[in-house]
Amino acid sequence: MKIVSRSLLLLFFVACNSPQAVYDYDESVNFSNYSQYALFPDFRTGLSQLDETRLVESLNEQMREKGFSKSNDPGIYVNVYSQEFQRDNRSRVGLGVGGGGGNVGVGVSGGIPIGSMDTYLNLTFDFIDVEKDVLVWKAEVESPFNPKAEPQQRREQFDKIVEKALSGYPPKK
């Protein structure tokens, strides 16, 4: 029984820390027509220069694995932009006071936050048809992010984010 409960607890923590993705796409597009890509000409992610380089390296690797090649005459442009935000970590210590007499009771309680806010990174990946200049596929990935992480850890985090984003491409109709 201990093994089952520990396994479930571990699964819970892993699930909470992994990137979450949402996808959208144009249903009329034949995605098998795309085999070459380039970064959007005005590519600015909003990340630091070092993190943007890590993201682009991860993106290039994953695109290669998907069968894409970089080109000066691409079928699609890839654009990525980011938003960093903080969310309450929901860890609290509860305090309560109550009393009563007879058939009447009164109570007051509250929670005191423990720790600091959690930092998250939301990355949006846009695939834009170069010829038609229209958005054909989009992935939005939200992931916990440690701005104080070591460079290797940051690279691994970007690898996970890009992998999660591109796991929905091509869309399954």
Walk along the chain (173 residues) and give the pLDDT tens digit of each residue.
555 454 444 444 444 567 899 999 999 999 999 999 999 999 999 999 999 999 999 999 999 999 999 999 999 999 999 998 887 666 656 667 777 777 777 777 666 666 667 889 999 999 999 999 999 999 999 999 988 899 999 999 999 999 999 999 999 86
- Phi first, then psi, for residue 168 (nearest 5°) are -95, 10
Are the C-beta atoms of residues 151 and 50 closer than 8 Å to each other? yes
CA distance 170 to 167: 8
Two structure tokens written together for 150: 């070591």
Are the C-beta atoms of residues 120 and 144 closer than 8 Å to each other? yes
* The predicted structure's pLDDT at residue 107: 73
pTM of the prediction? 0.75
CA distance 137 to 27: 9
CB-based burial, 84-95: b 16+ in 10 Å, e otherwise:
eeeeeeeeeeee
Two structure tokens written together for 101: 């007499």
CATH code linked to domain 19-89+118-166:
3.30.160.670
Q: Where are the domains of the chain?
A: 19-89+118-166
CA distance 16 to 79: 27
* The predicted structure's pLDDT at residue 13: 44
Residues recorded for the chain: 173
